[in-house]
Amino acid sequence: MGPRYLFWTATVAALLLIWAASREVSRFCGHLAYWNPDNKCCSSCLRRFGPPACPGGLEACPSSPSLLPGFPELQSLASQPLARLLDELEVLEELIMLLDPEPGPSGIMAYGTTRHLAARYGLPATWSTFAYSLRPHRSPLRALIEMVVAREPSATLGQLGIHLAQLGRADALQVLSKLG
């Protein structure tokens, strides 16, 4: 048993402890919660990313000229089906570049990503984890749009715009406005 073996054993043990600790922590957070490293506890995604636009969710929101001030070109898109985005490959690719980022240094995810958008549409965190595990062969955003369209064929580009606005993604709204 040389020094290499002892170093290897200590490294593996440390990694296993870190892995076990992270699994322990994530198990306590619900599907609409995230681990907040600042105060070392679970925090609500709704508190961080804001509540839905209307108390009853998007279904209860009146369609008014839909809610997206500062983006008048999106008003014409408000009632168009979300499925249209799947046919507009250039716009979809730009949104994928913005909303499906690679994890940053030390595995930290960016703010307002497809993962957060999926939570807005009511999909659990496990679905987001699965969608991101399919990378680089499959885009999580494309998978999200396909899932939403399959579950709710009446979903609109206006609803997507509202979610993007609530997440503070004016850059993604600007790209979406190219459909107008």
pLDDT digits (tens, 9 = 90+) for 99-146: 887 665 555 556 778 888 999 999 888 888 888 888 878 899 999 999
Tokens of 121: 């549409």
* CB atoms inside a 10 Å sphere around CB 99: 24
Cα–Cα distance, 179 to 90 (Å, whole number): 10
- Higher local confidence (pLDDT), 45 or 66: 66
Cα–Cα distance, 157 to 118 (Å, whole number): 15
Cα–Cα distance, 158 to 46 (Å, whole number): 20
What pLDDT does residue 59 have?
Answer: 44
Tokens of 39: 């105060």
Helix (H) / strand (E) containing 42 = strand 41-44
Q: With 50 as the cut, is the pLDDT of residue 63 above it?
A: no
Helices within 59-101 (DSSP H only)? 84-87, 89-99
Q: What is the mean pLDDT of the chain?
A: 75
**Span 56-76, average pLDDT:** 56
**Span 88-99, average pLDDT:** 93
Q: With 70 as the cut, is the pLDDT of residue 152 above it?
A: yes
Q: With 90 as the cut, is the pLDDT of residue 41 above it?
A: no
pTM for the whole structure: 0.60
C-alpha separations of 5 from 1, 10, 14, 139 in Å: 6, 9, 14, 41
Cα–Cα distance, 169 to 80 (Å, whole number): 20
